Amino acid sequence: MLRSSTIRGPGGRMQMGREEGGGSSPPSEEDRLAALRRYAVLDTPSEQVFDDLAGLAVRLCGTPIALISFVDEQRQWSKSRVGFEAVETPRQFSFCDRAIRQSDIFVVNDASRDERFAASPLVTGPPGIRFYAAAPLVAPAGEALGTLCIMDRVPRELTPSQAHSLRVLARQVVTQLELRRRSLELAERERLLRTIFDSEPECVKLLDSDGSVRMMNRAGLKMIEADSLEQIAGQRLYPLIAPEQRAAFVALTDRIFHGETGSLEFRITGLKGATRWLETRAAPLRDEAGEVRALLGITREITERKKADAALRESENNFRMLFEQATEGIFVTDPEGRFVDVNPAACTLTGYTREEIAAMTVADLVLPEEVPRVASAIAELSAGHVITGEWRARRKDGCIYIVEVSAKRLADGRLRAFARDITERTQLQAQLLQAQKMESLGRLAGGIAHDFNNLLTVINGTADFAIADLPDAAALRDDLEQIRLAGERAASLTRQLLAMSRQQILKPEVLDLTAVVRRMEGMLRRLIPEHIDLAFSLSDPLGSVNADPSQIEQVVLNLAVNAQDAMPDGGTLTIETRDVDLGVGSAAHPNLAPGRYVLLSVRDTGMGMDEGTRKQIFEPFFTTKEPGKGTGLGLPTVYGIVKQSGGGIWVSSEPGKGSTFTIHLPRVDGVPREAPSAHPAVPVPGTETILLVEDEPALRALTKRILHSAGYQVLEAANGLDALRLAEQHRGTVHLMITDVVMPGMNGRELAERLSRFAPRMRVLFTSGYTDDSILRLGVLDDASRFLNKPYTPSELRRRVRDLLDAPKP
């Protein structure tokens, strides 16, 4: 056990200390430091209660110095000091470091004679300590936190009375430390509770029995527009509540103070005038004896909910009004398809009264052959899918009509459908599809005319030269005249083709798509301007499909024209065919059944489309072309043909990256019938010193011959770049340039503009076999005197050249 005793130590000092005698071990240094941290006393400002105890120690013990000190890992720090300057001293020189190891008073009578302290700076220098006595400050759990010590600059003895005073005062210091710790802990708990209280996003309040406010958090103060709790503490909230709801609030308060719980929705006007709807949930707050001492209320703002409720009621009213006044038929059924409600337009659509329809099902309104599709649609709707479709139905008077339906499942499980009669629209669609076909045929006719015009220029021009070289009585002269006459008639015929389109009856048959595209190659090369490269990637052999050849040709033509329009500055148009097999659950083509298909794709390197445009391209009348340049029916026509052929069509496109249209048609067994091969494609055109630019060799040779025969010097070039090099290398004057308008790489208009920079007085004659609309886009019809349409005769060319050369200089 531990016991106190008086020991005469070195230097004649008296030490009252502890001796080991058994019992439990003292707390470890780690535990002692942890306890010291819990009291949170280090490095805090001085406090009067501790200063008073230090002063009392000086008076009772008659010493000039007294300290209340605490010892941490490195130092002795003084909370209160009397007669001592330093706030802290290193632990290694500290008397208190020794004192905290004792169970009772630790005394050093003369430190200068004590080998443990004689060399300490506190002894050898200021303040020159000689006498030291201290009582340890022992926490309730036994940890020695520090000391209450007295010191003197002269040696002396500690009397028993003084030792007793030190012990009593040390216990008072510990008591004050405990009170201080508990006060700090209580303040921290209160701070945490207040933080939680104020951080609650909903209003939390305590009300007294008369309805006055005892406490309210920040959210509540904000809710009633109070700047502080003091502004409303002790005041009733009743004046803020809407007059018609005050009685209900008072009744709720009474019920709470009678031990009940409750809730209430009410409207308040805040202290600054803002109106809010609130919902409060209240319960009694009881003391330890179970008595109700306050009303605890949690309140949240429900203004937006009230607005939403009002908006919902208004929406329901508006919906009912729209339901009754809608021009489309609206049908509401149960999950089995029995009618629950219909609007007046639905009665008009079907010819039945509302009462008659209420006794019917959806299957009663459609034709018998449509019933399986209707049953399938109801199943899809019940599974949560949104459906759209077209059904053939019969009115009460027996009239058959086509109805377009868009339906979905409502939140309560019922099914709602919007329906409209599209019989007339369906009839118009057939006419519109025909109009689109006419548009494509018109483009085809233009391309054919262009190619024919090149051919006819060569044929007629060569015939003219041959006739001119023969004597009048030559036997071949009549034959050549017939050739020239036929050529003139052919030129007239091409002009008629530009204005002609005819309706045709089309029938599906077994087709080889590669063969179809190859037959169209000549047409396509005539249709697509030469500044666009036309490429083919066609599989051979290829599986067969069952489709109308004319429709498939229209699909290819429409997609090719669409690709051409997407590349006004040129590019590459690629048409591909190949066999594909689609497996179960193909992510790229979810709407196609697994199986064998033939793929047809048309890819361009044009301007591409954004997502908004891509979503609408198959909608009728949607077009990105300027007014008058398209009907918006080309791609919808393609979509309809593909769907009617049992296939699918997809488009992938990004702005600036071109577009690819991919079609899948089911493969079938069977052998396609033989088809005639397409006519070979023929290229396009080209007179002092004349620069002749024409990319078609035969036409270039004929034109050169015509000009030579008239005495002109001719420089000939096959394209724009060759013409530029030739003009730059020529030493003399180029008086006139004859150029084709549409050529690969550089068109005639661009060539003329570039040559005018170093030959500004050079005249230009443009020629083309395209229609006016084709060349109008290149801006060469501003001056009709500078344009010569193909086919032309040698005399027409000579005359136009002469007219241009003889015209007044600009």
Q: For 509-668, CATH number?
A: 3.30.565.10
Of residues 70, 66, 78, 83, the one with CA closest to residue 33:
70
pTM: 0.35
pLDDT confidence of 593, banded at 50, 70, 90?
A: confident
Written as one letter, the residue type at 315 is: S
- The answer, yes or no, to whether residue 472 has pLDDT greater than 60, is yes
pLDDT top residue among 643 and 195? 643
pLDDT confidence of 424, banded at 50, 70, 90?
A: confident
Written as one letter, the residue type at 50 is: F
pLDDT confidence of 556, banded at 50, 70, 90?
A: very high
Encode pLDDT of 529-545 as tens digits: 989 999 999 999 999 99
Q: For 3-185, CATH number?
A: 3.30.450.40
Count Cβ atoms below 10 Å from residue 409 Cβ, excluding itself.
19
pLDDT confidence of 471, banded at 50, 70, 90?
A: confident
Across the range 281-297, mean pLDDT stands at 90
Encode pLDDT of 131-189 as tens digits: 999 999 999 999 999 999 999 999 999 999 999 999 999 999 999 999 999 988 888 88
pLDDT confidence of 6, banded at 50, 70, 90?
A: very low
Across the range 264-292, mean pLDDT stands at 92
Domain boundaries, the chain: 3-185, 200-307, 337-421, 509-668, 689-806
Residue given tokens 């409303």 in the structure block: 232
Across the range 192-212, mean pLDDT stands at 84
What stretch of H or E contains 16? strand 14-19
Q: How far is it, in rounded angstroms, from Cα 602 to Cα 652?
A: 11
- The answer, yes or no, to whether residue 602 has pLDDT greater than 90, is yes
CA 417 to chain centre: 31
What are 520's two structure tokens? 């169209």
Lowest mean pLDDT among 494-508, 714-728, 761-775: 494-508
Fold of the domain built from segment(s) 337-421: Beta-Lactamase (3.30.450)
- The answer, yes or no, to whether residue 441 has pLDDT greater than 80, is no
Q: How far is it, in rounded angstroms, from Cα 104 to Cα 442?
A: 119
Say what the pLDDT of residue 113 is: 94
Encode pLDDT of 229-239 as tens digits: 899 999 998 99
Say what the pLDDT of residue 8 is: 36
Q: List the alpha helices (DSSP H) in 413-548.
A: 423-469, 475-497, 513-527
Lowest mean pLDDT among 304-313, 314-323, 379-388, 708-717: 314-323
Say what the pLDDT of residue 733 is: 87
Q: Is the dihedral of CA 35, 40, 43, 46 positive or negative?
A: negative
Q: How far is it, in rounded angstroms, from Cα 67 to Cα 83?
A: 9
Count Cβ atoms below 10 Å from residue 696 Cβ, excluding itself.
23
Encode pLDDT of 677-694 as tens digits: 444 333 333 357 999 999
Residue given tokens 């979905």 in the structure block: 408
pLDDT top residue among 197 and 175? 175
- The 3-state secondary structure of 385-452 reads CCEEEEEEEECCCCCEEEEEEEEEECCCCCEEEEEEECHHHHHHHHHHHHHHHHHHHHHHHHHHHHHH
Across the range 80-100, mean pLDDT stands at 93
- The answer, yes or no, to whether residue 392 has pLDDT greater than 80, is yes
What superfamily would CATH give domain 200-307?
Answer: PAS domain (3.30.450.20)
Which residues make beta-bridge pairs with 278?
266, 301
Encode pLDDT of 315-372 as tens digits: 778 777 888 888 888 999 999 989 999 999 989 999 999 999 999 999 999 999 989 9
- The answer, yes or no, to whether residue 81 has pLDDT greater than 60, is yes
Across the range 751-771, mean pLDDT stands at 85
Say what the pLDDT of residue 58 is: 96
Of residues 638, 633, 629, the one with CA closest to residue 554:
638
- The answer, yes or no, to whether residue 557 has pLDDT greater than 70, is yes
Asked if residues 557 and 448 have their Cβ atoms less than 8 Å apart, the reply is: no
Fold of the domain built from segment(s) 689-806: Rossmann fold (3.40.50)
- Domain 3-185 shares a fold with domain 337-421: yes
Bond from prior residue into 136 cis (ω within 30 degrees of 0): no
- The answer, yes or no, to whether residue 449 has pLDDT greater than 70, is no
